[in-house]
Amino acid sequence: MTADASSEIVVVFDAGHGGGNQGARSMSGLTREEDIVLQVARELGQCRPDIVLTRTCDQTLNFAERADIAQAAGADLVISGHLDSIPDAPYKRGLHAYHHPDSPYGRRLAEYAVRSAPRELRGGNSILANSVPWKGRAKCVLEAYLPYSDALLIEFGYLSNTRDLGFVRSTEGIQAMVSLVIAIAEYYTQQRMEDA
Ligand SMILES: [Zn+2]
């Protein structure tokens, strides 16, 4: 690949949920996962218009529709952004990056994501503990994208944890998530070019 080839690598950011597809909630119910990841998408769109977005408003999209957008854009990598909530375990905090075993760059990207996350997002957890294979809901999301592209699902933190909640809804938190998505996109492009 030549240097120009980097512009041919297409990265999609998928803001999870939205519209009738309800995501996680804070304990009070006032902070919604779908709103925070949408803010991340919008900020991302401002500073990196080359990164394709699955949604920029509060709309309902199912997995197939999201995958269609990614496929139409010729996506090489889809980064799906989410937030978690476990009301029964409010002490749980920190980012998790889920990868699919069949995603060629999945594990590398997941480890990079956790390694590159600022301390406030990582929540003091180790890289290995937070770079985890597919399971549960993450499995459905990753499998929707996998036929067409590499896929990574990031749970940026827990809305059920007071510290995570405070950070992810702050201006600094949104900026940290945007910066992390950009860093992953750039790392992926660099890896692809090195491997070409
Ligand atoms: Zn979610």
pLDDT category, 184, cuts 50, 70, 90?
very high
- Ligand 1 center to 50 CA (angstroms): 24
25 near 92, Cβ under 8 Å? no
pLDDT category, 100, cuts 50, 70, 90?
confident
- Ligand 1 center to 72 CA (angstroms): 23
pLDDT score of 2 more than 70: no
How do residues 9-59 score in pLDDT, each as one tens digit?
999 999 999 998 889 999 999 999 999 999 999 999 999 999 999 999 999
DSSP secondary structure string, 111-173?
Answer: HHHHHHS-HHHHTT--HHHHEEE--HHHHHHHHHHTTTSEEEEEEEEETTSHHHHHHHTSHHH
- Ligand 1 center to 84 CA (angstroms): 6
What is the model's pTM? 0.92
Q: Structure tokens of 34?
A: 């779908």
How do residues 112-131 score in pLDDT, each as one tens digit?
999 999 999 998 765 555 55
- Ligand 1 center to 194 CA (angstroms): 32
Angle at the Cα of 22 from the Cα atoms of 180 and 71, rounded to 5 degrees: 55
pLDDT category, 84, cuts 50, 70, 90?
very high
- Ligand 1 center to 193 CA (angstroms): 31
Output the pLDDT for position 87.
94
Output the pLDDT for position 82.
96
- Ligand 1 center to 86 CA (angstroms): 12
How do residues 129-155 score in pLDDT, each as one tens digit?
555 656 677 777 888 888 888 999 999
- Ligand 1 center to 62 CA (angstroms): 12
Q: Structure tokens of 20?
A: 């009738």
- Ligand 1 center to 83 CA (angstroms): 5
Q: State the helix-helix crossing angle for 106-116 and 171-195, rounded to 10 degrees.
A: 140
Output the pLDDT for position 1.
47
DSSP conformation class of 4: G
User: Which stretch, 3-7, 78-82, 94-98, 126-130, has highest mean pLDDT?
Assistant: 78-82
- Output 178 or 107, whichever has higher pLDDT: 178
Q: Which residues lie near ion ligand 1 (Cβ < 5 Å)? A: 16, 23, 82
CATH 3.40.630.40 fits 3-195, yes or no: yes
DSSP conformation class of 77: E
- Output 123 or 65, whichever has higher pLDDT: 65
Output the pLDDT for position 16.
96
- Ligand 1 center to 24 CA (angstroms): 6
